[in-house]
Amino acid sequence: MRSRSMALTVAVALLSGFWCVAPARTAQQSGAAKTTAPAPARDLSGIWLLTTGARIRSLSKQTPPMTPLGQEMFNANKPGFGPRAVPGGNDPIGHCDPPGLPRSLMSERPIEFVQVAGKMLQFLESYHTWRDIWTDGRALPQDPDPRWYGYSVGKWQGDTFVVDSIGFDKRSWVDSLGDPHSEAMHLREQYRRLDHDTLERTITLEDPTIYTKPWVSDRQILKLQAQEGLDEDFCVGSEEESFNQRLRNPAAGK
């Protein structure tokens, strides 16, 4: 009896490794075809969930070497995760600042691509936001005002959709570990649909004022989801403030 119970517990625990990367849904059970049907040409339409690894904390395990400015910004960032985690911390999302990019792309929440004439819309369930990725041939703006999600243009190169983005607000963090970026950050995302249900992505971050060489992400895999829409996920300032005042801060001894 006890060994059966233990076996059941272990089996269920092992399954959690799959569930972890898709807490709100089962990525392995896409209502889309459970098949390796070929990818439609130059079509990213649909809702996609990041599945690579059990925890996506950063672009890769190894951060490129930082410049003195980068190190200074890194030291000032006090995350709630990882080896430098501190109670309370100063993660900007703790005040409902938008996560920005590339942090939002590493969320456990799905994204959705909608292709229309002249642009690709990327909806992010995380913080209920979207990006215009212009495909009409326009150039990236010169010296733009910084934005949390920057400015993006995209184009197809063969079967890969390449997105270039600049113009980022430096207040966001690259990831939940507190890695910084400047307004000069240039992001390149490359999306390649491997089959009907599988999307491969790599992200390259270049920010010479912060990192001494380009930061190339691990290969990321997203799976097509059957759901018809994204959930609502807002960071509500009043809720965040209430939580901070009533619980997070006193629990941290602040």
Partner 1 sequence: MKSRLRISFALVIGLLAVYCPAFAHHGSSISYDLKKTVELKGTVTEFVWSNPHAQIYFDAKDAQGNVKHWGGETFAPSTLTRTGWTKKTLKPGDQITITVFPSKAGSPFGLVSSVVLADGQKFVPVSPETASTRTDGEQ
- Which residues of the chain form contacts with partner 1 (CB under 8 A)? 5, 8-9, 12-13, 15-17, 19-21, 23-24, 54-57, 79-83, 85-89, 91, 93-94, 108-109, 176, 231, 234-236, 239-240, 242-243, 246-248, 250-253
Q: How far is the CB of 143 from partner 1 (least distance, A)?
A: 34
Task: Find all residues with CB under 8 Å of 186, minimum gap 6, and list them.
Answer: 164, 165, 166, 205, 206, 207
Which residue number, 36 or 245, has a Cβ lying nearer to partner 1? 245
Which residue number, 57 or 192, has a Cβ lying nearer to partner 1? 57
Q: How far is CA 203 from CA 18, 20, 31, in A?
A: 24, 22, 28
* Structural contact between residues 168 and 147, judged by C-beta atoms closer than 8 angstroms: yes
Which residue number, 57 or 188, has a Cβ lying nearer to partner 1? 57
SS3 48: strand
Q: How far is the CB of 193 from partner 1 (least distance, A)?
A: 25
Q: How far is the CB of 60 from partner 1 (least distance, A)?
A: 14
Q: How far is the CB of 77 from partner 1 (least distance, A)?
A: 12
Q: What is the DSSP string of 137-190?
A: SPPPPSSPPPBTT-EEEEEEETTEEEEEEE-B-TTS-SSTT-----TT-EEEEE
Which residue number, 89 or 208, has a Cβ lying nearer to partner 1? 89
